[in-house]
Amino acid sequence: MNKMRSLLLILGLSGFLGACTTVAPPYAASVANVDVTAKLAGPIAVGKFEFEKGREAELNSVGARAGVFVSPINNSFADYFGDAVTKDLKAAGKFDASSPRVLTGVLVKNYLTAAGTQVNESDLQVRFRLAQGRNTLYDKLIQAQNQWESSFMGAIAIPRALDNYVATIQKLINNLFSDPDFIRASAVK
């Protein structure tokens, strides 16, 4: 009987622990971002997105309650952000891998919480840089914050947190592509 209890306990724990890691969904371009991005003057290439130096592990850790989210792009949220920007540019017809204007980013803040039972939030910051050769056309820290209604039940709160995390990334990219300084920089010949 004790062996049966031990086996059931092990199976129960392994199922619980296995459910703790969730792969974030692939980023999908948003209609709002495509509308804003389509207004940019010229095509843009996307270069390397990376974490702020010395904070790689912290910035690549995204979790909600007992769950941990991992990026579907090289297990790197920096790469996830780069992929998101690329997808929005492609959807708007403004991506060109051979463009002399190259957009890069440094992930500075990557915060998500689903600990609250009523309201949860995310806060993202990326330092975006648009360069043409050795000339920096744009270099600015862009931020996006989001709050949403939560639930006491993890089965509701955790998926809601993941959906809103992606929505915050969309908001961040929209803030970049609608920034008047970025719009001017993207038009430089």
CATH for 119: 3.40.50
Q: How many structural domains is the chain composed of?
A: 1
> pLDDT digit string (tens) for 83-104?
999 999 999 999 999 999 999 9
Please report whether residue 143 resides in a domain: yes
Q: Characterize the bridge pairing of strands 67-70 and 62-64.
A: antiparallel
> pLDDT digit string (tens) for 107-158?
999 988 766 667 778 899 999 999 999 999 999 999 999 887 776 666 666 7
Q: Could you tell me if residue 56 is left (phi over 0), alpha (psi between -120 and 50 degrees) or otherwise beta?
A: alpha
Contact at 8 Å (CB) between 105 and 85? yes
Please report whether residue 104 resides in a domain: yes
CA distance linking residue 177 with residue 165, whole number of Å = 19
Question: Mean pLDDT of all residues in the chain?
Answer: 84
pTM (2 decimals)? 0.84
Please report whether residue 133 resides in a domain: yes
Domain that holds residue 123: 21-186
Please report whether residue 27 resides in a domain: yes
Please report whether residue 11 resides in a domain: no
Please report whether residue 8 resides in a domain: no
